[in-house]
Amino acid sequence: MAEHTVPPSAHPTAATTKSRSRFVRFTLVAAVVAASAALLSEGLGLHAWAMFVGWIVWFTRPTSATLGLHSMVSLWAGLLLAVAGHVIVGVLAPAIGQAALPVAVFVLACVAVGMRTTPVLDNMLAWFLGLVAFFALHPDNVLTGVLTLVAASAIGAGAGYACQRLQRRFAS
């Protein structure tokens, strides 16, 4: 069994100081960008939580801008899929009542999970976040709701991209 010891030095090494400084810069960049994106969203009358959906999706595949954009396409496809689910429930509810929702969810899940191997549309998490965002918003007007979510999530994705770029520049 290995013993765990704390280094006896009370003075941080240069490497430790550099690592802490990098950690603080990385954190501050993310916080400033997130706060700016929230301010922009609120200023435009968009929900900050919807902006953060775009932020989260962007960071599901943070290795490149291309993969980030692919993730956003999956998110927006998930929003459109949610609209289809909304229609399915509306059409089936008069005939099968509360069973309409599970039927719609079955169809939506088949599509979202089935796309997991399709290039560009293979971010299953983003698909489901699109579904969740649409149903969380519960818009009175479907078109306005989707456009609102697309705009807010685009701000989040832009903020995610900016955060990555700024962190590479100032925190590496």
pLDDT score recorded for residue 7:
54
Nearest one of 71, 52, 68 to 161, comparing CA atoms: 68
Q: Fill in the DSSP letter of residue 2.
A: -
pLDDT score recorded for residue 19:
86
pTM across the whole model:
0.85
pLDDT score recorded for residue 139:
95
Q: pLDDT of 113-159, one tens digit each?
A: 999 999 999 999 999 999 999 999 999 999 999 999 999 999 999 99
In this model, does residue 12 exceed pLDDT 80? no
Question: Which residue has better confidence, 63 or 21?
Answer: 21
Residue 118 neighbours by CB distance under 10 Å = 11
pLDDT score recorded for residue 4:
55
Q: Angle at which helices 65-96 and 124-137 pack, to 10 degrees?
A: 50
Q: pLDDT of 52-85, one tens digit each?
A: 999 999 999 878 899 999 999 999 999 999 999 9
- Tell me the average pLDDT across 24-45: 96
The torsion angles phi and psi of 106, rounded to 5 degrees, stand at: -60, -45
- Tell me the average pLDDT across 1-8: 53
Percentage of residues in the chain with pLDDT exceeding 90?
82
Q: pLDDT of 103-116, one tens digit each?
A: 999 999 999 999 99
